[in-house]
Amino acid sequence: MNNKKQRVVIVDDHPMFRERLSQLINLELDMEVCGEADDAQEAIRIIRDTSPDLAIVDITLKGSSGLELVKSIKALSIAIPVLVLSMHDESLYAERALRAGASGYITKHQATEEVLAAIRRVVAGEIYLSEKMTTFFLKSLGAVGTRSVTRPLDRLTDRELQVLEYIGSGYKTREIAEALKVGVATVDTYRARIKEKMDFRSAVELQHFAIRWVRDRE
CATH 3.40.50.2300 in the chain: give the residue spans.
Answer: 6-138
Helix (H, G, I), strand (E, B) or coil at 24: helix
Does domain 151-216 bear CATH number 1.10.10.10? Answer: yes
Please report, rounded to a whole number, the percentage of residues in the chain having pLDDT higher than 70: 91
CATH 1.10.10.10 in the chain: give the residue spans.
Answer: 151-216
Higher pLDDT, 189 or 150: 189
Q: What is the pTM of this model?
A: 0.79
> Which CATH fold would you assign to the domain 6-138?
Rossmann fold (3.40.50)
Q: Which long-range contacts (CB under 8 A, 24 or more apart) does 124-130 make?
A: 125/81, 127/98, 127/103, 128/83, 128/103, 128/104, 129/94, 129/104, 129/105, 130/89, 130/105, 130/106
Model confidence at 141, pLDDT cuts 50, 70, 90, reads low
Rama region for 51: left / alpha / beta (φ>0; ψ in -120 to 50; rest): left
> What value does the mean pLDDT take over residues 108-117?
83
> How far is residue 24's CA from residue 38's CA, in Å, rounded to a whole number?
18
